[in-house]
Copies of this chain bind each other. A is one copy, B any other.
Amino acid sequence: MTKEKELVFGHKNPDTDAVVAAISYSHLQNELGFNTEAVALGEPNEETKYVFDKFDYKYPRIVTAANGEVKSVMLVDHNESQQSLDDIGDLQVTHVVDHHRIANFETTSPLYYRAQPVGCTSTILWEMYNEEDVEVPGNLAALMASAIISDTLLLKSPTTTDEDKAALKSLSKTAGIDYESYGLDMLKAGTNLDSKSTKELIDMDAKSFEMNGKNVRIAQVNTVDIDETLKREAEFTADIKSENKSEGYNLFVLLITNILTSDTTGLVLGDENAVSVFENALNTKVEDNKASLPGVVSRKKQVVPPLNEKF
């Protein structure tokens, strides 16, 4: 008896881990007897494109809603419904593998849920492959290693755990790559912002959060030169203001992160109250819409929790 088909996917505005984790979880589940297809909820970003080109891997089919194609789904690398398929409310979630906080997530039935506070979903999946004694194919190992490099900024982000280190080492070995040199090339490929409009950049790796009734949008771009990126500050500011208006965001934060020095400058725009909450939460001053955030590289660990606390 063939199981009923399910879709597996990561969050909207996919980054490398969101897409790769969907592929690797789908592969694992199919090996275990499920009938799944990995899909992506959006186009690849520059870094993800570099990874899929480099290892000659086919990017998954892009969907934004299930539209009755399946009844049930498996989520990776997210759980909050506003980051998921548009019609997630009509679907049964049977499995989740994630490394984020849990919020805005509710099911009517028991499910399989596995979250671990590690740097990358692909690290958890690597552990699951080991537990189930399923081999990771070489080119998939390269993708999973890339996802870990991406999420942990080459193991330098404060979200990095010993498990991420072990996973990256093992997967790099399987894939036959030198993760130090490859990782730097890959991260730099992701900082090539010139080909993107500022509108595209503030959408690219943006996530929405509901915090005590307020709509908070947090985007992040990686760079090797913050000043260079800020040459387009006026355009960024205009685009964010217009998006706050059209989407009803109370607060928009664009984190511009230098991946070499692990520092961030935040462009912070929104309701006066919300901006004060941000200053208070991040212990910083917003001047000319900009806040200096030395040592901050992780939205998930260093920005969302204090903001959520203060709201």
Contact A113-B112, Cβ < 8 Å, known A102-B105, A107-B103, A131-B131: no
Q: Which of A109-148 contact B (CB under 8 A)?
A: 109-117, 131
The segment from A180-188, A198-206, A303-311 that touches chain B is: A303-311
Q: Let me know if A53 is at the binding interface, CB within 8 A.
A: no
Tally of A interface residues using CB under 8 Å: 26
Is the CB–CB distance between A110 and B309 below 8 Å?
no
Is the CB–CB distance between A114 and B117 below 8 Å?
no
Q: How many copies does the complex hold?
A: 2
Q: Say what secondary structure dominates the interface of chain A.
A: loop
Which residue in chain B gives the minimum CB-CB distance to A110?
B117
Which among A106, A112, A300, A301 has the greatest number of chain B C-beta atoms within 10 A? A106
Chosen A-B contacts, 25 in total, with CB atoms closer than 8 Å, are: A99-B110, A100-B110, A101-B106, A101-B107, A101-B108, A101-B109, A101-B110, A102-B102, A102-B105, A102-B107, A103-B106, A103-B107, A104-B106, A105-B105, A109-B117, A109-B301, A110-B115, A110-B116, A110-B300, A110-B301, A111-B115, A112-B115, A112-B117, A113-B113, A114-B114
Q: Which 3 A-B pairs have the closest CB atoms?
A: A113-B115, A110-B117, A108-B308
